[in-house]
Structure 1
Amino acid sequence: MLLNFYKYQGTGNDFVMIDNREDVFPKDNVKLVSFLCDRRFGIGADGLILLENDKTTDFKMVYYNSDGRQSTMCGNGGRCIVAFANYLEIVDKNTSFMAVDGLHHATLENGIVGLEMQNVNEIKEKPNSLFLNTGSPHHVQLVDGLKDFDVRKEGEKLRYGLYGEQGSNINFVGQAGEDTFNVRTYERGVEDETFSCGTGVTAVALAMHHSGKTKSNTVKIVTPGGNLEVKFQNNGNGYDKIWLTGPAQLVFKGGIDVES
């Protein structure tokens, strides 16, 4: 079977996109998804995303990690699927879509996608870190010498040692200015460092505000794959009106032979 696909990236976080509005993709085939995401034998990506029909919004997003399993919300993936929906002429400059964590609104202009994230009402303080869920679970920890930090080794330790098999994404942070932070992320499901993580940088921005490292409600995040911006409001009980903004681009498209 020839499977048509599109490759998108958002600040280096890359995804295989498939138009599944006709419901032809074998959604429970973990081996197939893992193969498509494999960088040596398949297309290569941090994850795979299906665009599907939805009865109440413009479309539905179904996200898989590169290990082949469906996962929690992906912020950069959410931004990329908005660009993909625009490419397919499903949406123009404003859209709403359904994802695993519920309804999302988004905007698109000149290759820049803004994605409204879910409200965050709880941030757990740990001895040397903070933990919060921004659609996916995230550990946020300030470290010295972020540039040379062994993200894979230390991230793997925390991902399994502190959070068990279910795990958490692990974000290591260095402050670069009053409202600017450098971030490197170890992602569960990928089981390695990725160039960027949308829900991760959102978690970092909120955690840094919560801990008093910044007073700004607009936080700039620098990842290995590029720059993102997170805006939010502190409502006294948590955070709402959270927007993740940055570039999302089509890299290439093609077809790949797979077993039906």
Structure 2
Amino acid sequence: MRIDFTKMHGLGNDFVVLDGRDQSLPRMDASLAAALADRRTGIGCDQLIVLEPSLAADLRMRIFNCDGSEVEACGNATRAVGLLVGRAISIETVAGLLSASPCEAGISVEMGKPRFDWNAIPLAYPMDTHAMPVAWEELVNPIAVNVGNPHAIFFVEDPYAIAMERLGPLVENDPIFPERINVNVAAITARDAITLRVWERGAGLTRACGTGACATAIGAMKRGLVDRRVRVTLPGGPLVIEWREDEVIVMTGPATESFRGSFEVGDFGPQQ
């Protein structure tokens, strides 16, 4: 079985997109997803994206991290899918219905409403998610928010001074987060500007994380540190995050198609 794919990225956060709306796809599991995502022996990506027909929206999007785990949401991938389709669309995800629309600044995505309850993150037991009474070395008192997937946000003086390669997995896999957690370290540089690095659950350090930018902006807004529209600068570039009065998060930024190709399923896993 030969499968067509599109390689895309959002600010360097890269994806292999398999479109199952007009071709038959193999059954996707953790093993096959990880094999395709491998940068040495596969196609290589941070996340594998599978598009399927949907009865509730224009299409359904499934998201697999490079370790093979399936996750609920990916903001950069949502922008990439919006670019691939080329028009305003609704997208069904595990996290709910999203919408993506082309605009002058790239693709604008309505990411839904954030959740702050401890069991919506989820945490292992009840606590204040606005300033969690926990610490991992210099990372202290994060705010936790679910924006379709779970995030812990730490506000620090210099995100690039934090040893994310060591502390990221320590926080991600702490038992207090039963479904693991995305780890964000951010500095407020103005009322409308944030600098951010993200350790992604199941993917590690990435050049950009759309849901991380959303979660961090919302966390900063909840604490009164910034206004309701901010520019979040990640290693791969900036995203604009707005928290509308109806509490819906809107993320705007670029997406890019890198190349197209095809692969033989038998080279990466058993024939389905």
Asked if residue 208 in structure 1 is aligned to residue 220 in structure 2, the reply is yes
* Aligned mates of 1:76, 1:230 — CA distance in 2: 13
Asked if residue 142 in structure 1 is aligned to residue 151 in structure 2, the reply is no
Most deviating of 197-206 and 159-168: 159-168
Question: 1:234 offset after TM fit, Å?
Answer: 4.8
Q: Is the 8 A contact 1:83 1:113 kept in 2?
A: yes
* Aligned mates of 1:168, 1:208 — CA distance in 2: 18
Q: Is the 8 A contact 1:142 1:172 kept in 2?
A: yes
Match of 1:186 in 2: 199
Map Cα deviations across residues 200-232 of structure 1 (whole Å, 9 max, x no partner).
110000100111111x11111000011001011
* Aligned mates of 2:252, 2:238 — CA distance in 1: 9
Q: Percent identity?
A: 31
Question: 1:165 offset after TM fit, Å?
Answer: 5.4
* Aligned mates of 1:250, 1:70 — CA distance in 2: 23
Question: 1:164 offset after TM fit, Å?
Answer: 4.5
* Aligned mates of 1:138, 1:121 — CA distance in 2: 11
Q: Is the 8 A contact 2:51 2:62 kept in 1?
A: yes
TM, length-normalised to structure 2 = 0.86
Match of 2:142 in 1: 129
Say which SS state the counterpart of residue 113 (structure 2) adopts.
Answer: coil
Match of 2:13 in 1: 13
Match of 1:32 in 2: 32
TM, length-normalised to structure 1 = 0.90
Say which SS state the counterpart of residue 185 (structure 2) adopts.
Answer: strand
Match of 2:126 in 1: none
* Aligned mates of 2:252, 2:102 — CA distance in 1: 10
Say which SS state the counterpart of residue 35 (structure 1) adopts.
Answer: helix
Summarize the Cα distance change of 1:164–1:210 in structure 2 as closer, same or farther, 3 Å threshold: closer
Match of 2:122 in 1: none
Match of 2:110 in 1: 116
Question: 1:84 offset after TM fit, Å?
Answer: 1.4
Question: 1:257 offset after TM fit, Å?
Answer: 2.4
Q: Is the 8 A contact 1:7 1:14 kept in 2?
A: yes
Number of aligned positions between the proteins: 248
Match of 1:171 in 2: 184
Q: Is the 8 A contact 1:11 1:226 kept in 2?
A: yes
**Uncovered stretches (5+) of structure 2, i.e. residues with no partner:** 118-128, 134-140
**Uncovered stretches (5+) of structure 1, i.e. residues with no partner:** 87-91
Summarize the Cα distance change of 1:163–1:3 in structure 2 as closer, same or farther, 3 Å threshold: farther
Match of 2:244 in 1: 233
Say which SS state the counterpart of residue 39 (structure 1) adopts.
Answer: coil
* Aligned mates of 2:28, 2:85 — CA distance in 1: 23
